[in-house]
Structure 1
Amino acid sequence: MSTEPITLTAALASFDALWSPRIVTRVNDYDVRIAKLRGEFVWHVHEYTDEFFLVLDGHLDIGLREPAGERTVHLPTGAVFTVPRGVEHKPSAPAGASILLFEPTGTSTVGDRHEAVPAYVDVTTGHALDR
């Protein structure tokens, strides 16, 4: 963990990979991750933890499969949303987005129930941020 301030703009400029979170810092047992997104991710669920999203730039849609049915939440720049544990969801950013996430350290980006990790996902628990 860095003992120096981290500028999110500079951190985001340090990588180009999509759907490949970077761990900016840790807070207690949580990773603070940033990621660049474009296109659609996979439907997945986190059985034991909520997932917090903050849109830093662009627009993020999150499809949700809830007991009442499917719906999509639309998050513009500056919006936050928490997907409750146990809710199947699918992030997408057709025009691209940059996001910040809070997740317990070691949380898989593809959730707890998945048959295969998509080829475009190069790591499921985040990369260390190059400084």
Structure 2
Amino acid sequence: MKKSAINLQDKFTKFSKHWSPRVVAEMNDYQFKLAKIEGEFVWHDHKETDEVFVVIEGKMLIEFRDGKVELSEGEMYVVPKGVEHKPFAEKECKIMFIEPRGIANTGEAGGDLTAEEDVWI
């Protein structure tokens, strides 16, 4: 079996839709997902798991009911389970996030931005 590195920049060229995560790897029951984000997402939480956001390129904001966190390229933040949050990016931002397999991107909030699960690139 040929072993090769996963090139994140190459993976980002394989899709263009915003708020549409793509799986690039799994570790145990966790998935590493890439997404391009722009504009506002929906308020949501994940009752059973933390969620890690890593900014690969650009800037984003994670709003909370009691404040916000700004992230720039090369920075990450862990949103604790059960904490309501709303990601936002003024301009297109490329991110990686890490969460258990089977977690809906909108939590229980649902709506038009709920992505199909397990879409690999």
Asked whether the 8 Å contact 1:110–1:124 carries over to 2, the reply is no
Q: Could you tell me which residue of structure 2 aligns to residue 99 of structure 1?
A: 95
Counterparts of 2:83 and 2:14, CA distance in 1: 32
Q: Could you tell me which residue of structure 1 aligns to residue 40 of structure 2?
A: 40
Structure 1 residues 41 and 84: CA distance shift in structure 2, 3 A? same
1:12 is aligned to 2:12: yes
TM-score, normalised to structure 2's length? 0.93
TM-score, normalised to structure 1's length? 0.86
**Alignment gaps of 5+ in structure 1:** none
Residue by residue over 1:81-111, the C-alpha shift from the partner in whole angstroms, topping out at 9 and shown as x without a partner, is: 0000010000000112000011000111001
Structure 1 residues 24 and 62: CA distance shift in structure 2, 3 A? same
Q: Could you tell me which residue of structure 1 aligns to residue 111 of structure 2?
A: 117
- Once the two structures are TM-superposed, the CA of residue 4 in structure 1 deviates from its matched residue by 3.0
**Alignment gaps of 5+ in structure 2:** none
- Percent identity, aligned pairs only? 38
> Cα RMSD between the aligned structures?
1.5
Pick the aligned partner of 1:90 from 86, 91, 109.
86
What is the total number of aligned residue pairs between the two structures?
120
Pick the aligned partner of 1:71 from 52, 67, 71.
67
